[in-house]
Chain A
Amino acid sequence: MALALILSPLLFAAIAALIPSNGARPILLPIAAAFHLAMTILVVARPDLASWPVLDFGPESWLGIDAPGKLVLFVVSVLFFFCSIYSVGYLRYRKERSNRVFVSCLLVFLSVIGLVAFSRHLGLMWVAIEATTLSTAPLVYFNHSRKSIEATWKYLLVGSVGIALALFGTFFLAYSAEPAGLKPSMMMGDLLGMASSLSKPWLRAAFILLLVGYGTKMGLAPMHTWKPDAYGEAPGLVGAVFAGGVTSVAFLAFLRVYRVCVAAGEGQYVSRVLLAMGLFSMAVAGLFMVGQRDFKRSLAYSSVEHMGILIVGLGIGGPGLYGTMLHIATNGLTKGVLFLSAGNIHRAYASKSTDDVRGAMRRLPLSGALFLAGFLAITGSPPFGPFVSEFSILAGAFDSRLFFVGALFLLFLFVVFLGMGKTVLKVILGRPPAEAMVADGAEAQSAPYRDGLLTVAPVFALMALVLLLGICVPAPLDSLVREAASSLEAGL
């Protein structure tokens, strides 16, 4: 099952590369995604099926899924499923450009996500994370404009250097067993088992390198510089896959490192570093959102902010962990709503600056409303999902007597609400300009955009899920989240 989960998208990617028709190729995406989602649900619901039928996943096996892995895999698979339906509608508007590389890379990405979730070997996990960077770079480059080249270059260089540091950190982590005379290992099981005897200085150095490395991939400040450029220049669909998928997977990788460090008794040190880093990301995101005129860049900074929230939640530990794990789901799905609806608005106006884009509510009533609802949800307004998870993290901060952290957390949420609100309201309200300005040569050739079933229904479904999560967390997801949180708490 696990192997099918990892390998089947690769097979679809190969088929996609071979299909000559530009019109038929995107249909593969929802097929592969539906297949992936079905298998993911099976693996999550019945863990005993994961090893069926070929491999026996003993404790020594490299492949095996842990509780946070299940949660992230499930969330990303759901998000990817809705994005894949949207992509069929989206790519109809982009007939002028070959989507061969685009579709294949999306499917390769889906495959590597499974590999990260199933990696018990930190080296293998690193290989998979680096593969996510490489498979998503061509997605950023889809528009082939000068700006998208610049964004892709920054993403590749910053991402590769960051990931290289994560590899250095992984080596440090394995080497930290050496001073105590133990056999170095990169297996999660071995590392957790000998955690208490790992060398402290090496472990701390490893932790910092891994935080910087995987933090670059998550887009934590100050390593977030690639993010606004990549999210701004890539199609909205790719933004959704990045903000909900790539970042969540990088966070998953970091969670495993966190578990080893906590098991080694470094909880206090780790928590201090994480709180500082997380709050800094929230602050930087807030600062850059105020006065932001490009609404897609504004969404990118929102992603920086929410990665900060995840890291703060992890830093709070204990009572904050449930909210943190839930926030992976609520943030991922809400980012899907925001980027997909923002993509529709961008398409209709051929601009992403609030100088040109006004009155989206009148021109695109559905996408406009979804964009507004997504904004309210992501800034933590009730009754949406992120409110529940952010509130739970905040309550965790006060439970742990971290009053100062709680106060700053609230302050930054407020700044972000104001900053992002101004940009979003400019887009939504007002009277639409008479004729859409054609800003970019590449976009001039394509047909004018109108809201259609394929580009609105998946966004609407995601929004419904976000609302559902705010009203009540369904029992199976709740147990998944609880299981993930308690696995982090125990450090086992």
Chain B
Amino acid sequence: MMPDLIDALLVVVLVLNLFALGNSRIQSVIRIVATQGALLGAITLLMHERLTLPVVLAAVAAVVIKGALIPAIMIRSLRAAEIKREVEPFIGFLPSIVLGAVVTAVCLLLAPALSGSGSGPSLVIPASIATVLVGFILLISRYKAISQVLGYLVLENGIYIFSMLLIEAIPLVVEMGMLLDLFVAIFVISIITNHINQAFSSMDTRRLASLKE
């Protein structure tokens, strides 16, 4: 285990959060989120004392699914939809970056209180919570269906960071199950976003407003 290197990589993950908040092209945001996911898959390798086959398998599966398969599906559905490639936020880019930065800073300040026994990397818990919160900001501040899915992915990445603390408690089967669920979820969601686009000629979720009281 290399605590300092892991902490450094987690800082990169946090910076990617802010990039995702501030970028106006959906395609770039998909790439940023994919990079983040692949990086996280690689970090799990560093968390282990010894590399066993299941560990390597789980990390490879995470890198492939989060870094390649999911972005490929999303970029395909983006092309099929031929929508305007801009994000159209509900909260502007600058305010959402500032909000994300504030959230991240608060989580880092609270880090000493949050982290448990001292030896390991100290940033895992704050980075996880900050990423989950940034995922929420993305989720609620965007109108386009596909941007909301990106928010969900960032949120998932944040939860994935936390799972690094629990390597012994999560068996390979369960970890694979989680990745499979995520993959199927994105697959089903992409199908639905395509249908939204066909039926409403737009991916703007503001048009999904006929069901209400």
Chain A minimum-CB-distance residue to B209: A150
| Known pairs A138-B188, A167-B159, A229-B211; A185 contacts B173 (CB<8 A) | no
- Could you tell me if A146 and B210 are in contact, using CB atoms closer than 8 angstroms? yes
User: A-facing mask of B85-105, CB < 8 A → 1, else 0?
Assistant: 000000000000000000000
- Could you tell me if A186 and B170 are in contact, using CB atoms closer than 8 angstroms? yes
Q: What's the least CB distance linking A150 to chain B, in Å?
A: 4
Binds B, one of A79-87, A170-178, A349-357: A170-178
Q: What's the least CB distance linking B126 to chain A, in Å?
A: 14
- Could you tell me if A160 and B208 are in contact, using CB atoms closer than 8 angstroms? no
Chain B minimum-CB-distance residue to A146: B199
Binds B, one of A24-32, A42-50, A151-159, A262-270: A151-159
| A228 CB-CB contact with B under 8 Å | yes
| Known pairs A150-B210, A181-B117; A161 contacts B139 (CB<8 A) | yes
| B143 CB-CB contact with A under 8 Å | no
- Could you tell me if A160 and B162 are in contact, using CB atoms closer than 8 angstroms? no
Cα of A149 to Cα of B200 in the assembled complex, Å: 10
- Could you tell me if A164 and B152 are in contact, using CB atoms closer than 8 angstroms? yes
- Could you tell me if A134 and B181 are in contact, using CB atoms closer than 8 angstroms? yes
| B178 CB-CB contact with A under 8 Å | yes
| Known pairs A121-B174, A168-B162, A185-B169; A288 contacts B213 (CB<8 A) | yes
- Could you tell me if B169 and A149 are in contact, using CB atoms closer than 8 angstroms? no
| B18 CB-CB contact with A under 8 Å | no
Cα of A336 to Cα of B141 in the assembled complex, Å: 38
Residues of B within 8 A of A150 (CB): 196, 208-211
Q: What's the least CB distance linking B28 to chain A, in Å?
A: 22
| B23 CB-CB contact with A under 8 Å | no
| A418 CB-CB contact with B under 8 Å | no
- Could you tell me if B192 and A153 are in contact, using CB atoms closer than 8 angstroms? yes
Residues of A within 8 A of B205 (CB): 153
- Could you tell me if B148 and A146 are in contact, using CB atoms closer than 8 angstroms? no
| B177 CB-CB contact with A under 8 Å | yes
Q: What's the least CB distance linking A321 to chain B, in Å?
A: 29
Residues of A within 8 A of B166 (CB): 171, 174-175, 184, 186
Chain B minimum-CB-distance residue to A131: B181
- Could you tell me if B145 and A153 are in contact, using CB atoms closer than 8 angstroms? yes
Chain B minimum-CB-distance residue to A190: B169
Cα of A153 to Cα of B210 in the assembled complex, Å: 13
| B32 CB-CB contact with A under 8 Å | no
- Could you tell me if A127 and B200 are in contact, using CB atoms closer than 8 angstroms? no
Choose one: A127, A156, A174, A186; the contact of B181 (CB below 8 Å).
Answer: A127
- Could you tell me if A184 and B169 are in contact, using CB atoms closer than 8 angstroms? yes
- Could you tell me if A160 and B185 are in contact, using CB atoms closer than 8 angstroms? yes
Choose one: B156, B159, B165; the contact of A175 (CB below 8 Å).
Answer: B165
- Could you tell me if B152 and A157 are in contact, using CB atoms closer than 8 angstroms? yes
Residues of B within 8 A of A126 (CB): 178
User: A-facing mask of B123-158, CB < 8 A → 1, else 0?
Assistant: 000000000100000010000010011001001101
Q: What's the least CB distance linking A288 to chain B, in Å?
A: 6
- Could you tell me if A232 and B211 are in contact, using CB atoms closer than 8 angstroms? yes
- Could you tell me if A153 and B185 are in contact, using CB atoms closer than 8 angstroms? no
- Could you tell me if B116 and A167 are in contact, using CB atoms closer than 8 angstroms? no
Known: A123-B169, A149-B195, A157-B152. 13 other contacts (CB 8 A): A126-B178, A133-B185, A141-B192, A146-B200, A157-B189, A160-B189, A161-B155, A174-B169, A183-B169, A184-B165, A184-B166, A184-B168, A186-B170
Residues of A bordering B, CB below 8 Å: 121, 123-124, 126-127, 130-131, 133-134, 137-138, 141, 144, 146-147, 149-154, 156-157, 160-161, 164, 167-168, 171-172, 174-175, 178-179, 181, 183-186, 228-229, 232-233, 288, 292
A-B CB contact pairs (8 Å), 11 listed: A130-B178, A130-B185, A146-B200, A149-B192, A150-B209, A157-B148, A164-B152, A171-B166, A175-B166, A183-B169, A232-B211
